[in-house]
Amino acid sequence: MTDQPINPPATGYDLIHGYLRTIDASPGVYRMLDADSRVLYVGKARNLRARVSNYARPGNHSPRITRMISETASMMFLTTRTETEALLLEQNLIKQLKPRYNVLLRDDKSFPNILVTKDHAYPQIKKHRGAKKQKGNYYGPFAGAGAVNRTLNQLQRVFLLRNCSDSDFETRTRPCLQYQIKRCSGPCCGLISTDDYAASVRDAEQFLQGRTKGIQQTLAAQMQAASDAMEFERAAALRDRIKALTQVQSAQGINPQSTAEADVIALHTDGGQACVQVFFIRANQNWGNHDYYPRVSGDEDPSEVMEAFVGQFYATREPPRMLILSHGLDNDDLMVQALSEKAGRKVDITVPQRGEKAELVQNALRNARESLARKMSETATQGRLLKGLAAAFDLPRVPQRIEVYDNSHIQGAHAVGAMVVAGPDGFDKNQYRKFNIRGDDLTPGDDFGMMKEVLTRRFQRLLKEDPERTQGTWPDLLLIDGGAGQVSAVRQIMDDLGVSDIPMVGVAKGEDRDAGKEEFHRTGKPVMALRHNDPVLYFIQRMRDEVHRFAIGTHRAKRSKAIGATPLDDVPGVGAARKRALLAHFGSAKAVARANLADLRAVEGVSGNMAQTIYDYFHENG
């Protein structure tokens, strides 16, 4: 790749025309920047000169592109070896820079899988999210945790596989509740043989691969044999397993017969907004769906929105063997090549007109249409609440970003701060932040000191990363859990940081600490309250409850981690596997610390050098 920095003379069409003398017909990526060097748009081109010449000619542009051209003060170009490389680079830059005039996928969540482990004599079946580092077979993706949990719950009823951790498995002396309620076959206590358990694992994996007919026939034959032998309790158990298997299949809804592995992607637009529905088809089964609301201006072609979505969606995900789309792409050949290179196998893209695949698209389109209607209704309601909030507190403008803060601790221990964000689309969970309170000089339980640390860290970072307040990361309103004293302390913090122009409101419990009697404190203004049935009051209560929930959850997670911590966590080279081996061998971290070199070397997986490292750590630092 080569980067070509250029110093342009003007703005708009004249400026863009000036670049035509300096670029050739190479494939590549271009960036359009405004007068403050902020990226307005990122695009790709098979032929950079031909694409840029289109922008240099007035007329035949949508209002969005016309506005973008008028704001363009400079351009940057990156030439690439191939068109596919340009496509991949474009999507990476869009995700990184988030240009204002690009279609932008705002939700970048990962999807969970089901993992059947392979590093144990009795494999575990569990939900897995993140990098696939653990040894085992992965099945997915599923649309969300709910879809995984429902499937796991039914699979445990059918195949009786364990979901406990290896450490729990090793320490059990009698069957747990899962065995009592017929969700596990009790391998921890030797209640099933290794071979029989392995057969159940094979059946479960066959189900996850879509081969269910043979499993049902086998279970039915076993049930009949048990009944013939008058083993009625066993026959009833097998009957329940067949019933659970049927429930799994019916809960999955549409299960296509001719489509083994695909993502069905449908786009619906209305009123300048867009919804994209993605259905995950794996092993001829529907493993759930998820809706997305990409940022659009409203005048893009459906093919442009779909191409941008597909490129950004699979930038961090492995594509399936087939994408079934409701709308074609402008550059479907490039997208096929790019996704195939990423997956290391052929990836097909199709826009079906008839047959089963077309029915899948129609179903996804119906869901997209209904989801967008709900979203637009919720957005309208949210807009009215934000306007009501601005009127209630005399704000200079309707807030687009509200930040709500709270602390959580137990007598100062495991203290955390929490920030949640709300705006026109409701709660923006991607923007939530947690703060581990680090102040060593804080008095335990000093809420003022904790809030000072949280806000100081938050706004020092904003001042560093976005001093001009152009990226939409600065709040229009701060909600603080507390009364006049808390608001006064926060105002002093903001004045010290030089950001005293941001409105803030303190939310105090009020008389008898009852919900509905909240009092609101603002700097230099009298205490006020809202009507008991005011929708704005309910809105504030929801935001306060959400930050409480997030703060308490973060605090509990930190406390649980601290409870499970041992001195072994700080020993260089001792990871989770060695930690388990040492604790299993010696019984406690204290016993490990007292062990001699010979005993440490006797632990499986601990070499002579590692034994020396562990010994030195406890005898030099202990």
Radius of gyration for the chain, computed over Cα atoms and rounded to the nearest angstrom:
30
Query: What is the share, in percent, of the chain residues with pLDDT greater than 90?
Result: 36
CA distances from 105 to 88, 291, 311, 423, 463 (A): 15, 11, 10, 17, 26
**Mapped to the 3 state alphabet, what secondary structure does 95-118 carry?**
HHHCCCCCCECCCCCCCCEEEEEC
Higher pLDDT, 151 or 504: 504
Encoded tokens for 615: 């010994």
How far is it, in rounded angstroms, from Cα 43 to Cα 22?
18
Task: Specify whether the CB–CB gap between 127 and 117 falls below 8 A.
Answer: no
CA distances from 132 to 114, 138, 573 (A): 11, 8, 21
Q: Residues 5-51: pLDDT tens digits?
A: 555 446 688 889 889 988 999 999 999 999 888 899 999 999 999 99
Asked if residue 141 has a cis previous peptide bond (ω within 30° of 0), the answer is yes
234 pLDDT more than 90: no
Given this model, what pLDDT does residue 275 score?
A: 94
3 pLDDT more than 80: no
Count other C-beta atoms under 10 Å from residue 230's C-beta. Answer: 8
Q: Nearest 5°: phi and psi at 403?
A: -110, 130
How far is it, in rounded angstroms, from Cα 365 to Cα 525?
51
Q: Residues 425-480: pLDDT tens digits?
A: 889 988 999 888 776 665 665 677 788 888 988 999 999 888 888 778 899 999 99
Instruction: Identify which of 398, 390, 442, 385 has the alpha carbon closest to the alpha carbon of residue 416.
Output: 442
Q: Does 402-562 match 261-373 at the fold level? A: yes
Residues facing residue 3 across a β-bridge: 78
Helix axes 48-56, 12-19, angle to 10 degrees: 160
In terms of CATH, what superfamily is 567-621? 5' to 3' exonuclease, C-terminal subdomain (1.10.150.20)
- How far the first Cα of the chain sits from its last, in Å, is 54
Report the predicted TM-score, pTM, of the whole model to 2 decimal places: 0.72
CATH 3.30.420.340 fits 402-562, yes or no: yes
Give the residue extent of every domain in the chain.
2-97, 113-251, 261-373, 402-562, 567-621
Query: What is the share, in percent, of the chain residues with pLDDT greater than 70?
Result: 90
Three-class DSSP category at 37: coil
Task: Specify whether the CB–CB gap between 305 and 103 falls below 8 A.
Answer: yes
How far is it, in rounded angstroms, from Cα 102 to Cα 96?
12
* CATH architecture observed for domain 2-97: 3-Layer(aba) Sandwich (3.40)
CA distances from 438 to 237, 460, 464 (A): 55, 16, 20
CATH 3.30.565.10 fits 261-373, yes or no: no
Q: Residues 511-564: pLDDT tens digits?
A: 654 556 788 999 888 999 998 888 999 999 999 999 988 888 877 776 666 555
Which alpha helices (H) appear in 344-435, and where do they start and end?
355-392
